[in-house]
Amino acid sequence: MITLLIDEALAESGISLSSIDAVAVSKGPGSYTGLRIGVATAKGLCYALEKPLIAVGTLNAMADGMREIVRSRKSEVVSQKPEVDNDSILYCPMIDARRMEVYYGLYDSGGKEIHAPVAEIIDDHSFIDLINYQTIVFGGDGAKKCEAILSDKKNMIYMDDFNPSAKYMIPLSYRKFLSDDFENLAYFEPYYLKDFIAGKPRIKGLM
């Protein structure tokens, strides 16, 4: 379906494939299958059109989106804490990695990476070195696991209304485009962060 959606988006915006300058893709971490499909499609377009490929970290883009919402005070959760200084907030986007794990990273109010993306099981000792003095905003489908365990920590804010979107990739992608920060089409691979573990097929006859 992804190529059909691309056609629809181009038609709606009045842009032709031949007129684009580059293709940006979310490189991960995230769903193994989703990353493979997304990156393969982006690389195919770049190869056919002879356009450069831009790769944006999924968690980086999510953190940008979370900051945008906090700064505009559109999030009810955050607006209920007017004493919070926007410039001192850390942002922790989280993606559900299953098996009780999450992918997460930490970013400051300027977008600087404070903690590189990791796959980790959240327990009551997570963020222990930060939560006593630092306000942390959590968002993404993995944040629900964190909220269930660390809901009693006063310096933690949960954005239940936050949903990842490709629009949060735009500023990061544009900056990379202006600086000619492109990927090698032949060798670029998604950022899986952890090894793929195949499950048993559920279709009868494929066991």
So where are the chain's domains? 58-159
Model pLDDT for residues 85-123, shown as the tens digit of each residue: 666 899 999 999 987 799 999 999 999 999 999 999 988
Give the DSSP H or E segment for 70: helix 58-72
Of 16-25, 62-71, 84-93, minimum mean pLDDT range: 84-93
Token pair listed for 116: 């590189």
Closest CA to 92 of 158, 28, 169: 158
The encoded tokens of residue 8 equal 């629809």
197 pLDDT more than 80: no
Q: What is the pLDDT of residue 199?
A: 56
Reduced to 3 states (helix: H, G, I; strand: E, B; else coil), residue 126 is coil
CB 97 within 8 A of CB 103: yes
Q: What is the mean pLDDT of the chain?
A: 87
Average pLDDT over residues 113-141: 88
Task: Tell me the C-alpha distance between 141 and 94, whole Å.
Answer: 7
As given in the structure block, the two tokens for residue 157 are 């804010």
State what percent of residues in the chain have pLDDT above 70.
Answer: 86
What confidence category does residue 201 fall into, taking pLDDT thresholds of 50, 70 and 90? low
**Spatial separation of the C-alpha atoms in residues 94 and 100, rounded to whole Å:** 12
CATH of 58-159, picked from 3.30.420, 3.10.20, 3.30.450, 3.40.1710, is: 3.30.420
* 138 close to 92: Cβ distance less than 8 angstroms: yes
What SS3 state is found at 192?
A: coil
Q: What pLDDT, on a 0 to 100 scale, did the predictor assign at position 145? A: 81
Contact between 169 and 19 under an 8 Å Cβ cutoff? The reply is no
As beta bridge partners, residue 95 has: 103
Q: Could you tell me the pTM of the whole model?
A: 0.87
- Residue with the larger pLDDT of the pair 145 and 19: 19
